[in-house]
Chain A
Amino acid sequence: MNGLLTSAVAGLTAGGAYGLLGVCAVFTYRLVAVVNFTSAAIGTAGTFVLVVLNEAGIPLFPAVLCGLVAGVIAGVAIGLVMTKWFAESNASTKAAVTVALLVGIVAIGLRLTGGQHPHHFPDLFSGSAMRLAGVELTISSLLTIGLGVAFTILADVLLSRTRMGLHLRALSERPMAAELIGVPVQFLSILVWGITGAVTAFSLMIIAPQRSPDFMSLSLLVVPALAAALIGLFRSFWMTLIGGILIGVVEGMTSVIGGLNQYRGAVPFLIILAVMLWLQRGARWDEAR
């Protein structure tokens, strides 16, 4: 029993990162209407900048800063592609474009980072924060969850309380009408891409040391992130965050149940499937009325 609890708690770091990535996905979807499959790849690019600089002898703190800046640049670059050429496209076309971009980024990333070539991923926040009922809570797990909560609160406050949030909500609903009343739509869209670029880069930096450290696996963390976003129905930041944490915890628990271990990666898939089926059931019920 205690083993199960320990492994569940061990899944918290990943869960927090999934939640944070998921909240970013919801943020991007709600504000610029793109289901962004490149988010984790953008974060991975930032993380590799950190790793390469750190290996070259640059101290951790400036290297992290450079990694975050790289995340912002990568996010803004993707955002420019999406706003310049695909602003008028429908949601499924845009999603397809980001899938294509993901494939491109992973190919370039693998080439530049040398595939499975072992890199040293610095553990930004190692160590234990506290012990709870005999189970160790790591700093990084508390940090990702704390960051997830903070970002969720910030996103909520930004959208509901500020003038910029008002403009973002107008933009998300009718970009052209918003532009026609003087909302700086291009600036705001790019800002959204930049912010999510920085946040995803930071999430990836925290979670990378626990993962197989190649560009491809890290970029595919977008799958649990989108699964979390789906739990929040691409609308609720809080449900997404909770969903992400849950996915991490379930993943953690499967790692100690003999035989299930190999299927750990299937957890987000099963959750996506379950949510879709559940939604479908609702639709059928609607039709039946």
Chain B
Amino acid sequence: MSRMVVSELRVDRVHLPVVREVSLSVESGQISVLLGANGAGKTTLLEGLSGVIPVAGGKIEVDGHEIQRQRPGARVGAGLAHVEQGRTVFRQLTTNENLRAGAASASDVKKAYELFPELLPRRDVLAGLLSGGEQQMLVIARALAGRPKILLIDEMSAGLAPTIVRRLMTTVRKLADQGLAVVLVEQFAVLALAVGNRAYVLRRGKIVYDGACAELRDAPDKLHQLYLGSGS
């Protein structure tokens, strides 16, 4: 069992607070879905969690240990993996080399191919030459090859065909059922809410909804209102 608890997190961009007073949690077996309009601060929040940018205040605890002062590499050691927005494959490395770079052992690479069989025939192709969908599978597979306990995925479905998106969603659900804790940032709210457990909606850097996915799933109007802000 793993658990990440975030309390009162603040993350700045160029000295301006972009993420403020954010508290959330995720644990093994659960998918926490993070929603919000463009520019709400979802990416910034994930980057604060993984250490890509330093946090300005608050706490991030993984299994009771505070990690908010650690370098990204140390947070990986604590069990975190971050699939960044924009398919950050190593373009000059082959598919197989991308996987090996992140894997602890050869069996982890093998498991990655079992999870994404599409990648197997592409194993010796430079990752820069893969299709968008293949690249997205590769970055997820690469993160999983490091056997994380907590997986942060940013914009998993950006630019992908609906069939692939559905497959990836099912895969992520399966991984959570096997014990992974997942924070999923998604534009396709409906699909994410269908597989997620808990949902958070972020607006201008603050959490404006924290509750069950099912509740939002059944009330599209409410979600719309949360995105835009009720007063405005």
Contacts and interface: CB of A to CB of B under 8 A. Distances in A.
Nearest to B99: A181
A129 to B, nearest CB: 40
Interface in B37-81: 50, 52, 71-73, 76-77, 81
A123 interface: no
Given A176-B52, A181-B102, A170 B84 contact: no
A185 B73 contact: yes
Max chain B Cβ within 10 angstroms of own Cβ: one of A174, A179, A182, A185: A182
Interface of A: 163, 166-167, 169-170, 173-174, 176-186
Please provide the 7 A-B residue pairs with the shortest distance between their CB atoms, ordered closest to farther.
A181-B102, A177-B88, A182-B76, A170-B101, A179-B72, A179-B73, A173-B90
Contact of B97 (A166, A180, A184): A166
B81 A174 contact: no
Interface string B81-103: 11010001011110001101110
A129 B65 CA distance: 63
B184 interface: no
Nearest to B103: A181
B146 interface: yes
Interface range, B side: 20 to 34
A241 B195 CA distance: 57
B93 A180 contact: no
A30 to B, nearest CB: 10
Contact of A170 (B71, B76, B82, B90): B90
B83 to A, nearest CB: 9
B91 A181 contact: no
A163 B82 CA distance: 22
A186 B72 CA distance: 11
B90 A180 contact: no
A152 B145 CA distance: 32
A180 B52 contact: yes
Interface in B172-202: none
B82 A180 contact: yes
B17 to A, nearest CB: 21
B149 interface: no
B143 A181 contact: yes
A182 B80 CA distance: 10
User: Chain B contact residues: over half helix, strand or loop, or mixed?
Assistant: helix
Given A177-B90, A180-B81, A167 B76 contact: no
B10 interface: no
B36 to A, nearest CB: 22
User: Chain A contact residues: over half helix, strand or loop, or mixed?
Assistant: helix
A177 B81 contact: no
Nearest to B98: A170
A182 B72 CA distance: 8
Interface of B: 50, 52, 71-73, 76-77, 81-82, 84, 88, 90-93, 97-98, 100-102, 142-143, 145-146
A182 B73 contact: yes
Given A181-B142, A181-B146, A183-B101, A173 B93 contact: yes
A174 B139 CA distance: 13
B90 A176 contact: no
Nearest to B76: A182
B76 A179 contact: yes
A164 B97 CA distance: 12
Given A166-B97, A177-B84, A184 B90 contact: no
B101 A178 contact: yes
B84 A182 contact: no
Contacts of B101: 166-167, 170, 178, 181, 183
A180 B151 CA distance: 11
B73 to A, nearest CB: 5
A176 B71 CA distance: 11
B88 A174 contact: yes
Contacts of A174: 88, 90
Contacts of B73: 179, 182-186
Contact of B100 (A166, A173, A182, A186): A166
11 contacts: A169-B97, A170-B101, A176-B72, A176-B88, A177-B88, A177-B90, A180-B50, A180-B52, A180-B81, A181-B145, A183-B101
B76 A173 contact: no
B143 A173 contact: no
Given A181-B102, A182-B77, A182-B146, A170 B52 contact: no
